[in-house]
Amino acid sequence: MTSRIVLILFLASVAAAAGCKKEEHRGDVSANSSTANAVAANNANPTASAQSAAPASISAHAAIATIDAKGAMQSIREGTNGWTCMPDNPVTPGPDPMCFDANAGKWVAAWIAHKPPPENVVGLMYMLEGGTDASNTDPYATKPTPDNNWVSTGPHIMVVGSKDILAGHPSGGKPDTTVPYVMWAGTPYAHLMIPVAAGTQ
């Protein structure tokens, strides 16, 4: 199974579980009107949305894919550099396009299947538009609850598949998202979240 299909299936499952529309939750995400306008424009143009997730040097040559209402893969563009980019998922509370390399795709596949990630396979993901997660402690949470530690992070990159890189970084339910922190600590899917400046290219 390719990394594109794996992530698409994941996003489809999240969309089905969330059962809500992004517009109803925009207030949960701190974003100014220019950001909201940019997100709206990107949602109308999946390619632009997907490419906004990573530096242009990566996203301009990446494969781009999305999902239809039934969760089926829709390939928008073939890639040439081994990266895949996905546009903003309209059912999640904030802008969350992402780009990931092939190794990160293997990590995602393991996460979806509830299997241990492959050892010594370190992957990289970009989310330069930021993102929201139902829980910083539960890898399988699908919606925020009063006690599952909903977290919103600005522009960031993720390093997945490396236990060593987590050492010395803070973790826990309510992290300071302005510094590198560990998401899903204590699970096989713990990974490092690294904030970056907006507009990083």
Rounded Cα distance between 175 and 177, Å, is: 6
Sign of dihedral through CA atoms 38, 44, 47, 50? positive
Q: Which residues lie closer than 8 Å to 151 by C-beta, 6 or more apart?
A: 132, 133, 135, 136, 174, 175, 177, 183
Six-digit token pair at 67? 């999902």
pLDDT in tens, the chain (201 residues): 333 333 444 444 333 333 333 433 333 333 334 444 444 544 578 999 999 999 999 999 999 988 666 656 678 999 999 999 989 877 666 788 999 999 998 898 888 889 999 988 999 999 999 887 778 889 988 777 877 778 888 999 999 999 999 999 999 888 899 999 999 999 999 999 999 986 555
Rounded Cα distance between 32 and 100, Å, is: 27
pTM: 0.75
